[in-house]
Amino acid sequence: MPRAVFLALALLLAAAAAQAQTEASSPARQRAANRRALREARRTPTPYTDSHLGAARQPLKRGEPAPVPPVAGEPRFDRDGTPHVTEPKYPGLRLRKRKTDSSP
């Protein structure tokens, strides 16, 4: 019984902490806060020029995940569904396979 009470109390406290981390705000207030932050970032002299505040709007659409980067080794396709094949730029500069001696 004490274990159940302790578990219920822990869940109640965790739910309250999670609720405090979210803040309801309208998209207009978010845009205004973003403009304010960008204005302040322009005024502040920083040696590092890239900033998360200057992110493009495309990957930050509401309710959508960030675009997934392509996986290496995965086949690529054109818009019409044909495989994307590239010719080697410098075929003579490739590493050559070693010739194995198959002499008895």
Residue 54: band (very low, low, confident or very high) from pLDDT cuts 50, 70, 90: low
pLDDT 10s digits, 25-48: 888 988 999 899 889 888 888 776
The pLDDT of residue 45 is 81
Q: What percent of the chain has pLDDT over 90?
A: 3
Please compute the mean of the pLDDT values over residues 13-25 and round it to a whole number: 64
Three state DSSP letters for 60-85? HCCCCCCCCCCCCCCCCECCCCCECC
Q: What percent of the chain has pLDDT over 70?
A: 69
How remote is the C-alpha of 13 from its chain's centroid? 31
